[in-house]
Structure 1
């Protein structure tokens, strides 16, 4: 895998780092702050900006509604620990999807191993972590699909990675009309333009648009979602 270049600007804030052991990290971890443990260091991130929270909420509601309908698994959100491998780093992804097949790796405190899908939303304090270090670690942990959403001003870029047959990340294609089709979430697709709208679209409107294209849905269900789409799009 070729690592992308990712250098923060001179004006970018950087996360705070503190040398410590894993047990101290666990003692420090709480439910209101995102901290991670990597290579014997605790990494504390700056609080996310408002647009970061908006996109996290939009994607969370959209994906959670989709996977709940099809009983595909569960979604978790930061702060929630992902212990990528024994004695390895502990990350707290913005959003992670765990399939039904991997629910046995979920405990009340953390997820053990690589989730099926991880989504990171880039902020000024997380550019290098999200685009370089986490990319490498998620690949090593076997995270099948990794999304990097960068909504920062003058950036507005989304990158998607999939594990190939050798367990290495390759860039996943985006269609010419700006739509990404997930591999881990069958029939789910994301229109990238949604992410840059201000305000963001109603996630239920986006869900209805997706559901009307799912071939396995019954005609009655498609009719219901089409009616919902028509209703919401007129408001």
Structure 2
């Protein structure tokens, strides 16, 4: 009797669709740049240094603010947000979850909408961030969605109102105060500087230091 060997899928040989979310999680690892959308695996392009600098700057500010005020959790990409209305497992660049929603946290993903999602737009991700993700986050009930576009030098912030996103901020300059993270604000123009502001300077302006 001939034994047929079926190789186990690896990161280089993803399982064939349709793929369940559990199968996706079993296949993917922390280095996998991919998202799950209704049974399909969507691969993402590598990000630029400038993109990563903005993500790290925003992430550091948000994380320090949240830890200082003990008001929830902050996670970066590779930590997914599983949404059910339009089935998807997305990896926003940054997510924030309030203390009262801690039951949505699992060991590897958020089961349901985060309270804030932040996407730093790249040329490759722009149509997805402004299109599919916009509608998925809106339908799932993510209260605040930040879109940071370095190429356009534009910050867009959407807030849910009557189950639909309304623009709370749009522009390259001006102060944006979050309605989800109490006391968290940034100046939009910080994000377009060739050299981003020192984090300690921002913390002093927030009177955390």
Q: Using structure 1 for the length normalisation, give the TM-score.
A: 0.77
**Runs of 5+ unmatched residues, structure 2:** 1-15
Residue by residue, what CA displacement relative to the aligned partner does 1:147-201 show, whole Å, maximum 9, x if unpaired? 000112xx1111000011x111100036996111110011211101110111111
- Structure 1 position 205 matched with structure 2 position 201: yes
Question: Equivalent residue for 1:21?
Answer: 19
- Structure 1 position 168 matched with structure 2 position 145: no
Give me the whole-angstrom Cα distance separating, in 2, the residues matched to 1:53 and 1:170.
27
Question: Equivalent residue for 2:71?
Answer: 72
Give me the whole-angstrom Cα distance separating, in 1, the residues matched to 2:105 and 2:187.
30
Question: Equivalent residue for 2:178?
Answer: 182
Give me the whole-angstrom Cα distance separating, in 1, the residues matched to 2:150 and 2:182.
25
Which of 1 and 2 has higher RCO (CA within 8 Å, sep 6+)?
Answer: 1
Give me the whole-angstrom Cα distance separating, in 2, the residues matched to 1:87 and 1:137.
6
Extract structure 1 runs of 4+ deviating beyond 6 A.
none
- CA-based RMSD of the aligned residues comes to 1.9
Q: 1:81: Cα distance to partner?
A: 1.5
Question: Equivalent residue for 2:128?
Answer: 129
Greater percentage in helix: 1
Give me the whole-angstrom Cα distance separating, in 1, the residues matched to 2:85 and 2:150.
33
Give me the whole-angstrom Cα distance separating, in 1, the residues matched to 2:33 and 2:139.
22
Greater percentage in strand: 2
Question: Equivalent residue for 2:5?
Answer: none
Give me the whole-angstrom Cα distance separating, in 1, the residues matched to 2:85 and 2:158.
24
- SS across alignment from 1:64: helix
- SS across alignment from 1:104: helix
Change (3 A) 1:74 1:43: same
Give me the whole-angstrom Cα distance separating, in 2, the residues matched to 1:159 and 1:41.
28
Aligned length: 193
Question: Equivalent residue for 2:81?
Answer: 82
